[in-house]
Amino acid sequence: MVVFVNQFSVHGNAEDFERAFQASSEFMRRQPGFLRHSLVRSTLLPERYVNVAEWEDAASFRRATEHPDFESHVRELHELASSEPHLCVPVLQRGALRGDAEGG
């Protein structure tokens, strides 16, 4: 699995950005290898959004970005926000540890 992290700084209207992002999300979730994504918004800096998307592998992600419809989504988002994208690999993933249970 690879994780695509994209931090947006929105200079346009936030509702427009969220609408454009949703259209991009609808495109992405139809691409082979896409697993899931989560778009979150900073509580202190409301112009800051972060998208975290999980893909089966880097090849699937690259293929989606080479799809002919991808460019129009990117263009629309970039009219409303700058972004700092990073294709990442998982290093450490942990769930809650409750009560007396140790290890895991």
- Shortest distance, position 68 Cβ to its own copies, whole Å: 19
Q: Are 52 and 94 contacting, i.e. CB atoms less than 8 angstroms apart?
A: no
What 3 state SS string does 50-62 have?
A: EEEEEECCHHHHH
30 vs 78 by CB, closer to its own copies: 30
- Shortest distance, position 91 Cβ to its own copies, whole Å: 5
Residue ranges in contact with its own copies by CB under 8 A: 2-3, 5, 7, 18, 21-22, 25-26, 29-30, 34-45, 48-50, 52, 58, 86-98
Q: Are 27 and 71 contacting, i.e. CB atoms less than 8 angstroms apart?
A: no
- Shortest distance, position 64 Cβ to its own copies, whole Å: 11
CA nearest 77: which of 4, 30, 12?
Answer: 12
